[in-house]
Amino acid sequence: MENPVLHLENADIYQRDNLVLSNVNLTINKGDFYYLIGKTGSGKSSLMKTLYGDIRLQSGNGMIVDFDLKDLKDKEIPFLRRKIGIVFQDFKLLNDTTVFGNLEFVLKATGWKNKVEIKEKINEVLEKVGMQSQYYKMAFELSGGEQQRVAIARALLNDPELILADEPTGNLDPKTSLEVMHLLNEIHKSGKTILMATHDYQLIVKFKHKTLKIELNVKVENCLKFQDKQLFR
């Protein structure tokens, strides 16, 4: 039986006052892996930001991990982000802090207090991404690929129902991109649901998953098109 973790219905996506995507209809079920593809400026990041509460959903309906995006209150956003894992293109690590410190900061910010449990959880996620031996290094000492592995570990800390990866290989060389993609693929195989925005078509061909494509129409109207589903504006 399908178990939706994300559902948008006739949703309009805005960037400031500009309509970027309209009439978006989308359902992602537990265990799915979808690519979100489209040219630069087509609305990928705006859609992702709407999903994690950085941009408000002004019209239409949207549910993500049991949160109503249309009626999402500021005080609810931290709780939403505890149930989703976010991986950014530019990592967004605390550069003057150790790998362990970066992850500890997130856990404490989301209510973890027991030092033993914090250490165990950090060791667990670092082991999953192959970075357990690097826990003592400062973030700025890491390569781009290593920083992204730590960012993925951070996304896994609170056992998220959905992982949103916004161009996670965008700042990486091809070899490192493949390594990160292998890692995301393994995480998906473990049962995680992933929506990944990307412009790297080589990865899409090599790691086959369902694809959502944003196309710009001549009338500056966007069309979201799945290979097996379609969302129009």
Q: Give me the pLDDT at residue 216, please.
A: 59
- Give 224's pLDDT tier (boundaries 50, 70, 90): low
Contact 42, 199 (CB under 8 A): no
Contact 118, 107 (CB under 8 A): yes
Digit-coded pLDDT (tens) for 78-125: 899 989 999 988 889 999 999 999 999 999 988 899 999 999 999 999
Contact 180, 148 (CB under 8 A): yes
Please enumerate in sequence order all residues whose Cβ is within 8 A of that of 20, keeping only pairs 6 or more positions apart, or say none.
13, 14, 43, 46, 47, 222
Q: Give me the pLDDT at residue 227, please.
A: 47
pLDDT over 70 at 222, yes or no = no
Instruction: Give, for 165, the enclosing helix (H) or strand (E).
Output: strand 162-166
Q: Give me the pLDDT at residue 38, please.
A: 84
Q: Give me the pLDDT at residue 149, please.
A: 93
41: tokens are 């400026």
Hey, which residues does 35 pair with through a beta bridge? 196, 211
Q: Give me the pLDDT at residue 200, please.
A: 87
pTM as predicted? 0.88
Q: Which one is predicted more confidently, 228 or 87?
A: 87
What's at 167, amino acid-wise? E
* Averaged pLDDT, 169-174: 90
96: tokens are 């003057």
Helix (H, G, I), strand (E, B) or coil at 42: coil
* Averaged pLDDT, 135-162: 94
If one counts the domains in the chain, the total is: 1
Percent composition of the chain: helix, strand, coil (DSSP 3-state, to 5): 35, 30, 35
Report the relative pairing of strands 194-198 and 33-38 from DSSP bridges.
parallel
* Averaged pLDDT, 57-63: 93
- Whichever domain contains 102, its CATH number is 3.40.50.300
Helix (H, G, I), strand (E, B) or coil at 218: coil
Please enumerate in sequence order all residues whose Cβ is within 8 A of that of 158, keeping only pairs 6 or more positions apart, or say none.
82, 83, 85, 107, 110
Domain span holding position 111: 4-231
CA atoms within 13 A on the CB side of 19: 16
* Averaged pLDDT, 3-8: 91
